[in-house]
Amino acid sequence: MTSTTDQSHLDAFYADVAAYDLQPLWTQTSDLLPPSPCPSAVPWLWRWETLRALVERASRLVPIERGGERRVLALANPGLHGLPYATPTLWGAMQIVGPGESAPAHRHTAAAIRFVLEGEGLWTTVDGDACEMRTGDLVLTPSWAFHDHTNHGSVPMVWFDGLDLPLVKALDAVFFEPYKDRLQPVEAKNASESRVAGRALLARGTQVGHDGSPLLVYRWPETDRALDALLAQDGGTVASIEFTNPTTGGPVLPTIGCAMHRLRSTTVTTPWRKTGSSVFVVHRGSGVTVAGSAVLRWSRGDMFVVPSWCPTYHASLEDSDLFELSDEPVLRALRLYREEAVPDARDAAELWSSAVSG
Ligand code: 1HN
């Protein structure tokens, strides 16, 4: 029993501790040290039709100007208290640039990738190298590389933007600089692709001014061929590839992992969980992803989030390709990466399996 005097001493003690900007550990252990990760981000899905209609409205209403810089609608995870973040570490968004429009040149310490969803005729210039963007291509803009986008075509260009901005912001390492002119001079076209010729033939003496892959564009036809070859090789129904920096074999960017998963029709993947979060973009097909207790039904162009340590499996209703953006390189570098099959979720997966095939 605490006596009233003890209680009043305790109350006074806690008041003095708080007044001196201190907090006792013993009153908050369970929040700080849960037995396994308890993410505040939730599994969530945004539909292509709605996203596409909203960026279309933005393109009619809002010009692309200095200050705002980009016509981008950010995925704001409902678990993240109104922040414009898809996960605690990853920014995900849809961007639109109309015919004849450009988005001004700038650079920032946050690194970015683009995954092209629709359109043609748009070029992203990265440190002077103009990179043509086509549907299904992955384009990198590494940390502190100047970049701008120009649509020389006759149709709107729409793509997915993935950045490590929430992480860089949490580390208080955000720097930003507009280029002196609206656009950079184009010094070369698709130069990164000729430097990294063939599968593993790198031009001798290749040096890049940024801390990313010397290859800035990963073309869809090559990704497609690689996935088909993998499936043909092992006769399976699921193939996954990681996009890598050809000089290191590591991730495309120090903080950002990119992968593509191909699921043949009516395939169910092994229930799995891993530390770190992901944003998926549906490049092709349709299906269902079960993430924790959420059932996310997806089709082409949809985007969805899987939080850290969330038991997840995917079930395809037709031949499907899922692009995955993740913070896995960060967790690996910091020795925080863990992954495991989730046996408890298997019964549910088998139910699904018989449901989709039966
Ligand atoms: C950015 O620079 C782009 O260059 C896209 O297209 C999205 C989101 C936050 C901060 C900078 C781009 C961005 C961004």
Model confidence pLDDT, tens digit, residues 113-142? 999 999 999 999 999 999 999 999 999 999
Question: Taking 70 as the threshold, does the pLDDT of residue 248 lie above it?
Answer: yes
Query: Could you give the CA distance from residue 263 to residue 322 in angstroms, rounded to a whole number?
Result: 8
Q: In the chain, what are the domain boundaries?
A: 44-357
Question: Taking 80 as the threshold, does the pLDDT of residue 351 lie above it?
Answer: no
Question: Taking 60 as the threshold, does the pLDDT of residue 357 lie above it?
Answer: no
Mutation test of ligand 1: which of 55, 70, 124, 216 has the most ligand atoms closer than 8 Å to its C-beta?
70
Please report the pLDDT score of residue 149 as a whole number: 98
Dist. CA 239 → ligand 1 center (Å): 30
Phi, psi for 236 (deg, rounded to 5) = -85, -175
Mutation test of ligand 1: which of 97, 109, 163 has the most ligand atoms closer than 8 Å to its C-beta?
163
Half-sphere exposure of 282 (CA within 13 A, CB side): 28
- Whether 142 contacts 212, CB under 8 Å: yes
Dist. CA 163 → ligand 1 center (Å): 8
Query: Could you give the CA distance from residue 55 to residue 165 in angstroms, rounded to a whole number?
Result: 21
Structure-block tokens of residue 88: 């605690």
Helix (H, G, I), strand (E, B) or coil at 20: coil
Question: Taking 50 as the threshold, does the pLDDT of residue 358 lie above it?
Answer: no
Mutation test of ligand 1: which of 89, 133, 161, 216 has the most ligand atoms closer than 8 Å to its C-beta?
161
Helix (H, G, I), strand (E, B) or coil at 59: helix
Please report the pLDDT score of residue 203 as a whole number: 73
Ligand 1 touching residue 165 (CB < 6 A): yes
CATH architecture of 44-357: Sandwich (2.60)
In 3D, which of 28, 184, 32, 22 has the Cα closest to residue 103?
184
Tell me the three-class secondary structure of 67-87, residue by residue: CCCCCEEECCCCCCCCCCCCC
Please report the pLDDT score of residue 1 as a whole number: 62
- Whether 150 contacts 98, CB under 8 Å: no
Ligand 1 touching residue 163 (CB < 6 A): yes
